[in-house]
Each structure stands twice: as C-alpha cells, then as structure tokens.
Amino acid sequence: MQIFHTIAQLQAALNQHRHQKVALVPTMGNLHEGHLQLVKIAKQHADVVVVSIFVNPTQFAAGEDFDSYPRTLQADCQQLSTVNADMVFAPSVDEMYPIYPPNVQVLSGEITQILCGKSRPMHFDGVGLVVSKLFNIVRPDVAVFGKKDYQQLAIIHKLNNELNFGIKIIGGEIVRADDGLALSSRNQYLSASERAIAPVLSQSLQALAERIIDADLAAYPSLIDETKARLTQAGFVVDYVEIYNHHLQQPTHTDEQLVILAAAWLGKARLLDNLEVLRQ
C-alpha cells in the first residue's frame, strides 16, 4: 500500500493505472469497521482503490469539533492494509487549500435546508467542495460512501449528476455494533454510561418503522413526536426525527420507499442514524 501526501505524487502514481478501474473512498480518518466495509465494496468494483484521509475544515463551523476530531493516520493505514487498499491520500490543509478560505464554493442547493442542514447550514457546501476536489484529483470511475450519512449521499448523487463527473456512486450499508448502534468515529466521544444508552436511537427508529408501515400519512407527525419523547426520556437532546421518501422529499400516499432519519446529541456526541422502510 502506497501513502501519498501531495496531489502531484498521487496523480503520478495513478497515471500508471489509467487503463484500470479506479475507486475512491473518501474519509476523514479515525477509521472503524464501517469504513473498512466501504473499502471492501470498492475492491469489488475496481482494480485500484484510493482511500483519502482528510479532516476537511470547510465542512466545520466555528465551535464544532475540527480541532479535536481524532487524527489517527498510522492506525488508519494499518487497518487499510488488512483490506488491501492500494493507495492512501493524506494531504495537509495547505495542500488541499493553497488559498484559505477558498475563493470557490460548491453550493449544494435546497437539499441543505432540511435535516442536518438546518443545524449545520454551511456543512454540506464544504462537503460538496472537498468531494469535488477529490473527484478532480483522483478522477475515479467509482466512489463509495456510507449510507449512515444519508443526506450527504443524496447530495453527492446530485453533485455527480449536475456537475457531470460521470462517476458511479455506490452507497454502502450502515455497519452496526452488536447492540445496533451505527458505527461512527464520533462514538468515542461517548462516556461508558452514554454508550450504554446510545442503542436506544436505533431501537427507536426500528419501533417507528414498524408503526409507519401500515399507518396513514396523517399519523406520521404524532408517531414522530412519540419517538422524540422516547429519546428525550432516555437522555438524548434531539436535533431531528423525520420521515421522507428515498429522494428526501416529503412522502406521499404513493411512495413505497421511505427513510426515517434522526440526529440527536448524547453528551458530546452528535449521533446520526437512519432506517429505510418499505411500505406495504
């Protein structure tokens, strides 16, 4: 496995593989089994897999955890070698953003005004910018993102289509701990007592899913309120619990594929989860 810290070095290495399929797995590092599953998926769809490790400052607002976000490059590379990643791209902020703050923006549109976009209004514009840069740097045939960040994945699909990158975007299923908690780099912010409570988030979404399968749309708001109350009683500070169709639009009576999405604080950790539901 090769490790590169500059764009020029990475592109020189990739130029030797342009006759092969290249996959990109963008990450912010501090990897866990969920990330490794994304690499395994990428290996199934490409000959050469590039994993980027970059804590992107443009997607963090003032007061968020950019400075404290765990940076564990050596351990990350050791894990990536076990799943046969071919290249790691771990640039500095100066390498990715020679001019900072950058003059160019990638605005992600109306989809940023819902869900995480309400509480993190600049976040997805920063995601769109860094992903666009990575797409241009790596020029992959395939890119793999986790479904845990469901809204982010939807935005990247739009970015890929509307900016004509022509990349095959693949969403990897959520990887969960044995007790149902979705794996996340931010789970390590949880104390032992908070970690014991954390599975209530996935359990609450599962309970809500079972109730909406046969429910009328008019019942959704009250069912959501009951779910929020359950989470609050367990100790969460709820950001949102919402039900959308799989295009992240308000559901209609004809939608069969729905998704429940939630974000909630538990101590210092902001936990995300979602659950796809097939209505009968």
Angle at 153 between CA 59 and CA 67, to 5 degrees: 25
Query: 33 labelled as ligand-binding?
Result: yes
Query: 10 labelled as ligand-binding?
Result: no
pLDDT of residue 122: 87
SS (H, E, C) 29-51: CCCCHHHHHHHHHHHHHCCEEEE
Domains and CATH numbers, the chain: 2-172 (3.40.50.620), 185-278 (3.30.1300.10)
Q: Which residues of the chain have pLDDT under 70?
A: none
pLDDT of residue 135: 98
Give 64-82 pLDDT, tens digit per residue: 999 999 999 999 999 999 9
pLDDT of residue 13: 98
Query: 193 labelled as ligand-binding?
Result: no
- The single-letter code of the amino acid at 137 is I
Measured CA to CA, the distance from residue 206 to residue 221 in angstroms comes to 16
Residue 256 CB neighbour total at 10 angstroms:
11
Query: 146 labelled as ligand-binding?
Result: yes
Residues belonging to the chain:
280
Query: 152 labelled as ligand-binding?
Result: yes
Measured CA to CA, the distance from residue 84 to residue 43 in angstroms comes to 8
Query: 31 labelled as ligand-binding?
Result: yes
Tokens linked to 275:
């659950």
- The single-letter code of the amino acid at 194 is E
Query: 17 labelled as ligand-binding?
Result: no
H-type alpha helices, the chain: 7-14, 33-45, 73-82, 93-96, 116-119, 123-138, 150-162, 192-197, 200-212, 220-234
Choice among 35, 157, 247, 253 that is catalytic: 35
Check: CB of residue 158 under 8 Å from CB of residue 124.
no
Q: Is 123 a catalytic residue?
A: no
Query: 28 labelled as ligand-binding?
Result: yes
Query: 233 labelled as ligand-binding?
Result: no
